[in-house]
Structure 1
Amino acid sequence: MTRGLWLADMPLVLASGSATRRGMLEAAGIPVETSPAMIDERNVDDAARRAGAAAATVAALLARAKAMEVSARYPGRLVLGADQTLACEGRQYDKPANVAEGREHLAAFSGRAHHLHSAAALVKDGGLVAETQSSAELTMRRLGPEFIDAYVTAVGRKVMTSVGGYQLEGLGSQLFDRIDGDHFTILGLPLLPLMGHLRAAGYLAE
């Protein structure tokens, strides 16, 4: 643990297997133990959308549901749930189900702006400690079918591992003309406001 910065006796429990989120937290001096949530994300997502929830709200509901489920298995521990959703021109998108769908998503985003919504929820003993959400707007350049094919061939099955079909920290940077928003939000965690909540709750040094 990073003594003097992280004030709790035990690491933060991350309700996710995401290496990217874990890496962001650890780089910020927050010790992490991972325990992926055992929820049916699609059921939560579908119910929220049927109720007319916006993409940002869906991300917040998923983050909270993940944290609550893991909190039930880790009494006395602080648990972090996180999720990210994408919306483009009124339509919400999930992670591509296969490589072909990844191509379709990239073609749909080509020449358009889309929004990433990242949410986080902190839970302890089934009680909500804090939650936060932030958004970013990304404008994709116009992509020809040859470039999309070359990109998908280069990244392979990674096109299925994130909403939008890209990782901005890798080859995904070649897809964009403009990005407006926080880098951590784009990677899937509103890290700066999250750390503010951790400080306010006494888990991080002021």
Structure 2
Amino acid sequence: MQKIILASQSPRRRDLLKQIGLEFEIDPSNYEEDMTLDMEPRKLAEYLSLGKTKDVAQRHKDSIIISADTIIAVDNEVFGKPKTPEKAKYMLQKLSGRAHSVITGFTIINTEINKQISKSVETKVYFKNISEEEMDAYIATGEPLDKGGGYAIQGMAALFVEKIEGDYFNIVGLPIIAIVDELKNFGIKIL
């Protein structure tokens, strides 16, 4: 059986794949994400995941590579991971009291037969109104700084979520149902 490679250093993506019993190795991509590209958000997420997968595929000639990229979209603005507390606060202010889209683009490539698929999954998340005090306290935890959109739904930001429409795991970082469905097309069955 071919090796499966997760082209990500995200502990959340790793844990989700382990949770479903998939055996894989990790080889993070060195691909530089460009969030400034003028693309529709779903296409941007797919494009970024494809870039990551192709980068790692160069190092693994007989493997199945999986990568993903999660972005947040609100008001035609796309958010990646904030690098500073100030950027995290800006993102939380934009998300407060309204709905936004969490879009994960994923790519699977079989390097042996040069087969690939790129898709995206969108989940709507509705935030309550978040006070300045709550934002500052949340940012002080450090949790927002390496998370798309500046929050982790599986962490303390769960306190901000009023409801979701769609795949919860997509918000965490991997749309598990969609990925497992596509893995079947690559000859990999989970159950």
1:145 partner amino acid: E
Q: Deviations over 1:30-70 (max 9, x none)?
A: 1121111111112xx33x32xxx111111000111111111
1:1-206 equivalent positions in 2, closer than 5 A = 8-10=1-3, 12-42=4-34, 45-46=35-36, 48-49=37-38, 53-125=39-111, 127-153=114-140, 155-156=141-142, 158-204=143-189
Contact 1:37 1:69 in 2 (8 A): yes
Runs of 4+ in 1 over 6 A off after TM superposition: none
Taking structure 1 as the reference length, the TM-score comes to 0.87
- Which runs of no fewer than 5 residues in structure 1 stay unpaired? 1-7
SS in 1 for 2:150: coil
**Pairwise CA RMSD:** 1.5
Cα separation, 1, equivalents of 2:187 and 2:133: 52
Cα separation, 2, equivalents of 1:31 and 1:85: 26
Cα separation, 2, equivalents of 1:75 and 1:35: 13
Taking structure 2 as the reference length, the TM-score comes to 0.93
Higher alpha-carbon Rg? 1
1:149 partner amino acid: D
- Which runs of no fewer than 5 residues in structure 2 stay unpaired? none
Percent identical: 24
Q: Deviations over 1:1-38 (max 9, x none)?
A: xxxxxxx353x101111111011011111112111111
Cα separation, 2, equivalents of 1:41 and 1:9: 28
Contact 1:117 1:136 in 2 (8 A): yes
2:89 partner amino acid: R
Cα separation, 1, equivalents of 2:132 and 2:18: 39
SS in 2 for 1:83: strand
